[in-house]
Amino acid sequence: MQRLFSTFANGWPGVGLLLQRILTGTMLVLCAIFRLTNTSVSTSMLPQMIGAGAGLLLVIGLWTPLVGTLIAILELWMAWTEVGDPSIPIMLATLGGTAAMIGPGAWSIDARLFGRKHIAT
């Protein structure tokens, strides 16, 4: 399972990854809430709802490579298919893709579950 994660960065790089995960996840949830409050519920909101769930998983740092890839694909799909300014979905796709490539960082559930273990002898 460790092959999925490129790094569990600690220190300042780990803080940077944590802030990136929090920003991306929060923006995904806020975009979904904005979409849900401004229109009636329909199947066209399914990508935003999936994105909000993926954003919550990203914030806590669970399954980061898979979730980041899902976010990138969903946001690129929304940028391509929805009418309007595609800058926010493109930004979120980029942040999701970089989270998938870089890894979750030391302050994540992934690091606790799949990180290197210290064996005391």
Q: For each of the chain's 121 residues, which pLDDT tens digit applies?
A: 455 555 677 888 889 999 999 999 999 999 999 988 877 767 778 889 999 999 999 999 999 999 999 999 999 999 999 888 999 999 999 999 999 999 888 889 888 888 766 666 6
Q: Quick check: is 3 in a domain? A: no
Q: Quick check: is 94 in a domain? A: yes
pTM of the model: 0.85
Domain tally, the chain? 1
Q: Which domain holds residue 100?
A: 13-111
Q: Quick check: is 40 in a domain? A: yes
Q: Quick check: is 84 in a domain? A: yes
- The DSSP code for 44 is G
11 Rama sector, left if φ>0, alpha if ψ -120 to 50, beta otherwise: left
Q: Quick check: is 1 in a domain? A: no
Instruction: Tell me what pLDDT residue 115 has.
Output: 75
Q: Quick check: is 59 in a domain? A: yes
Degrees to nearest 5, angle at CA 10 with 17 and 24: 10
